[in-house]
Amino acid sequence: MGRLRQALTHREAGVVEALITRTERVEDGQMLLRRGAIVEHSTILIEGFILRSVQSGEKRHILATHVPGDFVDMHAFALKRLDHDITVLGPALVGYARHEDLRIMMEQEPHLARLFWFSTLLDAAVHRTWILKMGELRVDQRIAHFFCELWAKLEMVGLAREDGFSSPLRQSDLAEITGSTPIHVNRMLRELREAGLVEFRRGRVFCRDRSRLAQFAHFDPSYLYGAGDLAVHDELSVNAIT
């Protein structure tokens, strides 16, 4: 949603912010919500990182990552029940909006309601890209692709650098994101480093040649629908690509 900010008027942004009735600082690794929980509020990430994951036996698998400004559980607003865990990565600041208030707001602000729906559709589009990439890329390319995606998302909210970004990610997190193992991730990170594509050192990602990294990862950012893009959709005046 933070990425949708450009699609909001100043007034609307205020309306959204007024929904947040409570904020909370949470520490690394804390699980905000557990799969199956019934929720009566939605969570917005203000600072830090949040993961959507599922526990599968001993292993945890990360399904999606969120950056500041994102509503992380809008789907639960409609479905009421979460199908995965919501976990904080590194220290974070989160805000809560009550579903009841959201519902009232959506009735009064159809444009905002539409944007909230958009944000869940964007999540789905990101999911689809991951299904594709899990199927067609090697682990090293998946790691690179994840770096590209997170970099782009952080950039949209002004948290990226020219030559990379910082995060509290560990190698084992990358393993859970890419569906691999920490050991293999470690080897692949070495290869990426030796190939001069990207460096990962305790959460910090450095990359000199971004387009080369994107090419290696087969990364095409269009699935993230930049805020500009979205605004255009809203006006209903996009060019045919057919």
Partner DNA sequence: CGTTCCCTTGAGTAGTTTCAATACTTGTGG
Partner DNA sequence: CCACAAGTATTGAAACTACTCAAGGGAACG
Site residues for a second copy per CB under 8 A? 34-38, 52, 54, 56, 59, 61, 63-64, 75, 78-81, 83-84, 114, 117-118, 120-121, 123-125, 127-128, 130-132, 134-136, 178-180, 218, 222-223, 225, 233, 236, 238, 240-242
139 binds, options a second copy, DNA, none, Cβ within 5 to 8 A by partner type:
DNA
The verdict on 30 binding DNA (CB under 7 A) reads no
Work out how close the CB of 130 gets to DNA at its nearest, in angstroms, rounded to a whole number: 15
- DSSP letters, 165-221, are EE----HHHHHHHHTS-HHHHHHHHHHHHHTTS-EEETTEEE-S-HHHHHHHHT--G
> Is residue 153 classed as helix, strand or coil in its secondary structure?
helix
189 binds, options DNA, a second copy, none, Cβ within 5 to 8 A by partner type:
DNA
Q: Which residue, 81 or 202, has its beta carbon nearer to a second copy?
A: 81
Write out the E strands in the chain: 20-26, 31-33, 41-56, 59-66, 85-98, 164-166, 199-201, 204-206
Q: Measured at the alpha carbon of residue 190, what is the angle toward residues 184 and 196, in degrees to the nearest 5?
A: 140
Q: Which residues bind DNA (CB under 7 A)?
A: 138-140, 170-172, 179-184, 186-190, 202-203
